[in-house]
Amino acid sequence: KSIKKALSEFRRTHHDSWHEHREKFTEDQLVILADVLISPSYYA
């Protein structure tokens, strides 16, 4: 749970420059981030 919290905090604090940061991640890493950061209830 603390990893999810850290990733959520990173996303929140880097939202304005996310387009720059996302270039540093691989496609697989971006998929994992999306899986972790998107609430399961979003898909329900």
The pLDDT, as a whole number, for residue 24 is 93
The pLDDT, as a whole number, for residue 44 is 54
Kindly give the confidence (pLDDT) of every residue in the chain, 44 residues in length, as a single tens digit, with 9 standing for 90 and above.
Answer: 788 888 888 888 888 888 898 899 999 999 988 888 876 665 55
What is the C-alpha separation between 9 and 29, in angstroms, rounded? Answer: 17
State if pTM tops 0.85.
no
What is the C-alpha separation between 1 and 36, in angstroms, rounded? Answer: 10
The pLDDT, as a whole number, for residue 39 is 67
The pLDDT, as a whole number, for residue 10 is 84
What is the C-alpha separation between 37 and 12, in angstroms, rounded? Answer: 11
Q: Which two tokens stand for residue 9?
A: 């905090």
Q: Which two tokens stand for residue 8?
A: 């959520």
What is the C-alpha separation between 15 and 9, in angstroms, rounded? Answer: 10
Question: Domain locations in the chain?
Answer: 2-42
What is the C-alpha separation between 36 and 31, in angstroms, rounded? Answer: 9
